[in-house]
Amino acid sequence: MVQVKASIVIPTRNRRKVLERTLKYLFFQDYPQDQYEIIVIDDGSTDGTHEMVRAQESRCKLVCLRHEERKGQAVARNWGIREAQGEVVIFIDDDIFCPPQFISEHVKYHEKEDNLIVDGPAINIGEGDFSFTDRDKLLLAFFNFFGSVFVTANTSCRKEHLLKAEGFDEKFGTGFGWYDLDLGFRLMAMGLKRKKNRRAFAFHYKPAKIQKVGFSFQQRLNKQKDRGKNAVYLYKKHQSKKVGRRVRLHYRWYGRLLPLKGRVTEREEPVFEAMSRKKLLWPFLWKIYMIKAYAEGLEEGFAHTRTGKQKDG
């Protein structure tokens, strides 16, 4: 019996159409088809995601797990880790398009060294045709020198290390952001090293019109506010000036100076929709609202965690 060497873990929620494209690219990898598996965790979708995945004709092993109700990405990815049969677990998002060499490039690094976190560039693309051999996109991948220690859009690690670190912290809940960086910090504390493989690049599908579908301006501000709350939780776990800068704790003070609220009423939604077409003014104004929403999340996070003599940042 051939042993599965790599498991690709993908959490998803109500992204059926883009996930279907993501899966198609994973089906046509140059890695041996009997040596990798794809694990999709449907986190409470209501758009037929589970049925779509089960209907796929896959050249490799394809598993679809399902939460009836939303649990959050940390919980979803941990389920994927536990179910993974591969020695190496590769994390991507449901809107990541992978070139044919993607799995091979991740596994290659782990075969050379046992104690690695491997990440590759995730290059944003919009609507229209694209090619994995596009010279401009390859240059972007080549000059990608930065990024977080652990970005679940395109990162891999051996399953044994993920289990030893006890996976993602599920206390981050259904909020947005920072749970992956937290795991990265803990893996690094265990002695793992981060290595970037620029040939393990992938495309992050982010067309502007898709980002707006199904999301009001208030929902997007709520997402930013949640991110602020999770930032406080991360900071409390790994208190240092470096982490404070990373999660932008200084936005608290910006927020206190801004004479507005990080929320949009139902009556204001049409106004915001009209303003979003103003290409010169809109990006600046939207950035201010996003900062204010994030700052409100920071304030709520510190208010929630403040106990006794504990400092609030």
Is residue 310, in this structure, part of any structural domain at all? Answer: no
Which CATH number does the domain housing residue 196 bear?
3.90.550.10
- Residue 130: pLDDT band (50, 70, 90) is confident
Q: Are residues 22 and 121 in the same domain?
A: yes
Q: Which pLDDT does position 280 carry in this prediction?
A: 75
Q: Are residues 38 and 129 in the same domain?
A: yes
Say how many CA atoms lie within 13 Å of 113 toward its Cβ: 13
Mean pLDDT of 270-291: 81
Is residue 56, in this structure, part of any structural domain at all? Answer: yes
Q: Are residues 156 and 33 in the same domain?
A: yes
DSSP secondary structure letter of residue 122: E
Q: Are residues 150 and 269 in the same domain?
A: no
pLDDT higher than 50, residue 250: yes
Q: Are residues 194 and 270 in the same domain?
A: no
Q: Are residues 191 and 257 in the same domain?
A: no
Q: Are residues 142 and 92 in the same domain?
A: yes
Is residue 312, in this structure, part of any structural domain at all? Answer: no
Cα dihedral sign, 164-169-174-178: negative
Tokens found for residue 187: 């893996």
Give the whole-angstrom CA distance, residue 300 versus residue 313.
12
Is residue 182, in this structure, part of any structural domain at all? Answer: yes
Q: Which pLDDT does position 85 carry in this prediction?
A: 97
Q: Are residues 124 and 231 in the same domain?
A: no
Is residue 121, in this structure, part of any structural domain at all? Answer: yes
Q: What's the domain count of the chain?
A: 2
Chain segment 27-68, per-residue pLDDT in tens? 999 999 999 999 999 999 999 999 999 999 998 999 999 999
What is the domain range of residue 82?
6-209
Question: Which of 185, 209, 233 is the endpoint of a domain?
Answer: 209
Q: Which pLDDT does position 177 carry in this prediction?
A: 87
2, exposed or middle or buried, with CB in 10 Å at 0-12, 13-18, 19+? exposed
Task: Give kind and range of the element (H or E) at residue 304.
Answer: helix 282-305
pLDDT exceeding 70 applies to what percent of the chain?
93
pLDDT higher than 50, residue 217: yes
Is residue 34, in this structure, part of any structural domain at all? Answer: yes
Q: Are residues 267 and 121 in the same domain?
A: no
- Residue 86: pLDDT band (50, 70, 90) is very high
pLDDT mean across residues, the chain: 89
DSSP secondary structure letter of residue 177: S
Question: Which of 209, 236, 260 is the endpoint of a domain?
Answer: 209
pTM for the predicted model, two decimal places = 0.89
Is residue 261, in this structure, part of any structural domain at all? Answer: yes
- Residue 215: pLDDT band (50, 70, 90) is low
Q: Are residues 175 and 70 in the same domain?
A: yes
Question: Which of 188, 209, 230 is the endpoint of a domain?
Answer: 209
Q: Which pLDDT does position 147 carry in this prediction?
A: 67
Name residue 41's beta-bridge partners. Answer: 11, 65
Q: Are residues 283 and 185 in the same domain?
A: no
